[in-house]
Structure 1
């Protein structure tokens, strides 16, 4: 009988047999992939020490993190991991790991790591010489209660690597120097492996004056095109494609053109194929929709001159009537419901734009300062301050931007842990190591934010799987109660772990004394 390749077996899952999906084909595809692809192409060593010597001597692994441990401990760690008999649960899981995460030889012809090897590298690297923490981390990851974010999991221990940070948030102000610096920042951040969110709200609209010459400004869309090309060009050693999102206030005069750039039938000169879009929505927009009123879009150039700060930092809901009444601020008028319709239609067509309810975020923000935007996945909401850049592309005023170091709990697996609090503390300590050891000097405003805030994000995945496994209907009272309880526990134990770390270091984040947490 002729052998069937793993691709063919995987494709057979989509061909029903007697009206049933042949899920057994996935297991067959997984077994075939391991046998046909992984085993013949995995570099094998006679001993663990020989393996580490090879990886270090050939510049695949950093030496420093290995030297923080007695090698007998590394052997003990591997012995424990091997006793767990990890197995991929699906063909796609195995295929994705070996295609995107496993360390390969420089010619890409052979694998130098199994999943267990990558787990060990993460545990040893992020524990920073703490043997007990390394064992705890290995236990969390191998049992898939904890999954470090892609750049962290991918880069841990590697000699040639990007950074470990998942997401960055930067902003541009309304001058060519800052726009140029923003594009360069996007290139640099994409190169080191993170998704990048960029706020363009402060840029003057198309047709606005430049040096008092009316109609000179090109608006936000050309900048969006430059950013899309930047992310396409700059990727992490070809292993991870660059990814970015641009945000714009719904009260920006270019909002219609901003949305139109994502439409399928948009002119190719402006059409955005890979760049994501997000809109920043104050409460005032919903009030205008509810009352079926006209809405005014305000020139960022004029608003900044009148208020002395960038447009994104003006509270539109509070200042809306004053902005409308101010004759020194040029404005456009349209029906609020027409704009809402455009947003809704585009979401149905493309899934974009993301929506950030900015007033809601600031009302619950416990940190002194103002939230103005979010990130590529819209879960990060942190305080920023704007920068100014001189003609030499140096920061004359260094503001504060955002990096966030992410990891995820697996709800179904974490609910089976014997000690929920200890598991979460282990994850928080791994994430804290990332904040301490991320060097993002290519974008000084990001580096400042990272050093001052020590921000981490511990999320969750697999909620639908847990609910299905426990026969809870999505949205039912019991599912809502479980979800609320789970995230309450996650929040509590992460705050407790952060508090323990603060006490150990006798250190708080910058601005702690002005926060509601204090």
Structure 2
């Protein structure tokens, strides 16, 4: 295939630099092939009428006139859009564009996918549909994959595809959540489950000693369930399980990811995460032992589950209780064990539970207990109690992830920061309103109550490099601080406006820190506008909120409320970053030319805005000081009401002790989570560095 040859030619340097023009040539060659495979129609209206009749699209004309639809199509095509990289165009046509049932013809250009998404989310409101088309065509905002892929299709999956469930300590609950996880996996959902309430291996059942089998067999059941319910083979099931570090089974839990683990206990495809309260890190710092507890013995002694207790405050109480089964482990040795497991597998994720709940604006409504597959979702959760036949179930609050991301470069260069955030919040609100996940009752109930969304961002490293700012610099932290403080402001503003327009507040608003006004205190006493002169110039044409603006917004929120209980979450964008020709999320790049293998084809992706000038600002994450990377995330986190998916990049020269220090540093800097740890073997030279 000619486009693959052109794309690989990027690495064949001329005059000491990559042949970047070859990537654009590859994109144009792929575009020509896609046009040959595109089904033709006399015009936009005929196209939609035909595809609706053939069962590809929902009936847009039930809500819009032909003139409306034609206007939106003309608007989208007026931009003269062209993909800016081979990766972008190939990713769109292979993974997102609507295809004929036999997969032999493309039925959508990029503009058509944008229009279908806008028509579906706007639900007949032409003003909103226009703003949605503009935001997506100008690539200021990008819906997450499930939304962008499915919106407007007659045969579609859900617009959200990430869910969080919690198990109670009963076989009814295990069976119920196993079924719910399979139902969600069937529709393409990734599901995280908190196993921390399950009794430990060897605890009694109905008074029979040593009857409980612990968390590992439940993990095996879940792994098999996700492998079975895989969206008819179109997409692999994806699951994650979380466990509190003070749970008796924590060692067994971590051992499932050992390379030499017994096949009966080894977990191959499930992701693992540890829920770690502050108390554990305090004990590790002091070099003391920490005690793991048998959770059923805790429940019997206190009438509360171990994972629901504030262990920072009640740890000593648990230690002192004679009926609580416990045993000591070295806290520092556990940190080392976690680091070793991460070097081997990338897991476990780490959830800083105390940090998450300390910053939680809804702490009087409930506590944050876990996170999702990508560790950026932090919302309150309550346990469902599943009764026997004839008994009523008590359905609690579970969580769905409703995501989308701003493209920082395009938002900044358009000068439309407030407008972009407002439009993004409207589009995410539409997804929340349209999501009816009836086969997961806890998810359904929470979505109806809280209308939670997660607006994120991408292309931070791209923006910094394009503007000759180093990722590890104070200027980068200054920019990030100002940008995300403003995103926070405008997301709150739009949520307040929606609450005012609809006369609807999220459930329990009156108990939140927004209603009391406490949430706004830092913004009234500090000015988060940029301090550095160069950064000030970057915002020269973009209004940023002052403390006075924050004071005004505080009064409006207290008067009108908020529609969304949660608004912001920065996910680890990948596919949608490729489509936007953007660097992923707020993360640093890994290589200036990324190598991706799909099937038996290898694709090379030069980072956006790469040139001989910007090359020096594209330092690989593997060569960065991870402390400075954490510092940048820590500047953003106070302005994000949920979390930030944060990857640590280490090399074969990094020790387990150094990795453990990074865990502690991230905790002290106020991060809520750490995602994967990626390891690179420095002894192996990469093709990029040796290409000629």
TM-score tier by shorter-chain length is over 0.9
User: In the alignment, does 2:53 pair up with 1:57?
Assistant: yes
Q: Which residue is equivalent to 1:31?
A: 28
User: In the alignment, does 2:38 pair up with 1:42?
Assistant: yes
| Residues 15-73 of structure 1: per-residue CA shift (max 9 Å, x gap) | 5456533323322322222223x12221111111211111111111111x432111112
The CA deviation at 1:215 is 2.0
2:335 is aligned, of 340, 344, 353, to 340
- Supply the distance in 2 between the matched residues of 1:196 and 1:13 (Cα, whole angstroms): 38
Is the contact made by 1:412 and 1:465 (CA closer than 8 Å) also made in structure 2?
yes
Cα 1:449/1:265, change in 2 over 3 Å: same
- Supply the distance in 2 between the matched residues of 1:433 and 1:66 (Cα, whole angstroms): 19
- Supply the distance in 2 between the matched residues of 1:86 and 1:235 (Cα, whole angstroms): 34
The CA deviation at 1:302 is 1.2
1:262 is aligned, of 257, 260, 263, to 257
User: In the alignment, does 2:500 pair up with 1:503?
Assistant: yes
Secondary structure of the corresponding residue to residue 159 of structure 1:
coil
Secondary structure of the corresponding residue to residue 504 of structure 1:
helix
Is the contact made by 1:162 and 1:191 (CA closer than 8 Å) also made in structure 2?
no
| Residues 304-323 of structure 1: per-residue CA shift (max 9 Å, x gap) | 22222332211111111111
The CA deviation at 1:274 is 2.2
- Supply the distance in 1 between the matched residues of 2:389 and 2:10 (Cα, whole angstroms): 58
Structure 1 gap segments, 5+ residues each: none
Q: What are the within-5 Å matches in structure 2 for residues 186-265 of structure 1?
A: 186-265=181-260
User: In the alignment, does 2:467 pair up with 1:470?
Assistant: yes
Please tell me the root mean square deviation across aligned C-alpha atoms, in Å: 1.7
- Supply the distance in 2 between the matched residues of 1:510 and 1:254 (Cα, whole angstroms): 36
Q: What are the within-5 Å matches in structure 2 for residues 89-488 of structure 1?
A: 89-367=84-362, 368-392=365-389, 396-488=393-485
Paired positions, count:
513
Is the contact made by 2:382 and 2:396 (CA closer than 8 Å) also made in structure 1?
yes
| Residues 383-407 of structure 1: per-residue CA shift (max 9 Å, x gap) | 1111111234976211111113111
Is the contact made by 2:10 and 2:18 (CA closer than 8 Å) also made in structure 1?
yes
Is the contact made by 2:273 and 2:349 (CA closer than 8 Å) also made in structure 1?
yes
Is the contact made by 1:372 and 1:383 (CA closer than 8 Å) also made in structure 2?
yes
The CA deviation at 1:344 is 1.2
- Supply the distance in 1 between the matched residues of 2:117 and 2:443 (Cα, whole angstroms): 24
Is the contact made by 1:100 and 1:239 (CA closer than 8 Å) also made in structure 2?
no
- Supply the distance in 1 between the matched residues of 2:17 and 2:213 (Cα, whole angstroms): 56
| Residues 412-465 of structure 1: per-residue CA shift (max 9 Å, x gap) | 111122332122111111111111111111011111010000001100111111
The CA deviation at 1:240 is 3.5
Secondary structure of the corresponding residue to residue 396 of structure 1:
coil
Cα 1:416/1:395, change in 2 over 3 Å: farther
- Supply the distance in 1 between the matched residues of 2:355 and 2:144 (Cα, whole angstroms): 27
Q: TM-score, normalised by structure 2?
A: 0.72
Q: TM-score, normalised by structure 1?
A: 0.95
Secondary structure of the corresponding residue to residue 183 of structure 1:
helix
Cα 1:236/1:142, change in 2 over 3 Å: farther
Secondary structure of the corresponding residue to residue 404 of structure 2:
strand
| Residues 360-393 of structure 1: per-residue CA shift (max 9 Å, x gap) | 1111111121111111111111111111112349
